[in-house]
Amino acid sequence: MRYEVEVKFHKDFIEIDRNRIFIGLTSKPEKGEANRELLRKLAKNFKVSTSQIKIVSGLKSRRKIVEIVQTA
């Protein structure tokens, strides 16, 4: 499943509205720290491992497309 993700910094929350996710990150957007936090939070929320989540586009943007592969 693909989701549009919008990141807000200096906050800690997650909201899901159909195929859009609004998420707050506390990590700095340096050296991939924020992207790693994003993957950890999404993995915890969807109860999957971080290896099942891929940032498809927007690696250096606040707006991203992520793909979550859930196995049965």
* Closest to 37 in 3D by CA, of 28, 68, 59: 28
Q: Which of 33, 35, 27 is nearest to 9 (CA)?
A: 27
Query: How much is the mean pLDDT over the chain?
Result: 95
Q: For domain 2-68, give the CATH superfamily.
A: YggU-like (3.30.1200.10)
Q: List Cβ<8 Å contacts ≥24 apart for 20-23.
A: 21/66
What are the residue boundaries of the structural domains of the chain, listed by start? 2-68
Residue-level pLDDT at 70: 78
List phi, psi (to 5°) of 45.
Answer: -65, -40
**Residue 40: per-residue pLDDT:** 97
For residues 38 and 57, give the distance between their C-alpha atoms in angstroms, rounded to a whole number.
14
What pTM, to 2 d.p., does this model score?
A: 0.92
Give residue 48's pLDDT: 95
Q: Which residues pair with 4 in a beta bridge?
A: 20, 65
* Rounded average pLDDT over 6-12: 96
pLDDT in tens, 13-37: 999 999 999 999 999 999 999 999 9
